[in-house]
Amino acid sequence: MKTQVGRLIVIEGPDGVGKTRIVHDLVNVLKTNSQHIVSLSFPGREPGTLGSLVYSLHHKLEAFGLNTITPAALQTLHIAAHLDTIETRIKPLLNQGTTVVLDRFWWSTLVYGTVAGIERSTLEHLIAAENSVWYPHIPKCLILLDRQSSLRPEPSRDWEKLKAAYARLAKEEQTSFPVHRVCNDGEPTETLDNICQILAEDLAN
Q: Which residues of the chain have pLDDT under 70?
A: 1-3, 35
d(CA 165, CA 110): 9
The per-residue pLDDT for 1 is 47
The per-residue pLDDT for 188 is 92
The per-residue pLDDT for 13 is 97
SS3 137: coil
SS3 131: helix
Q: Which domains does the chain have, with CATH numbers?
A: 8-202 (3.40.50.300)
The per-residue pLDDT for 3 is 63
The per-residue pLDDT for 205 is 72
The per-residue pLDDT for 2 is 55
- Give the amino acid at 193: D
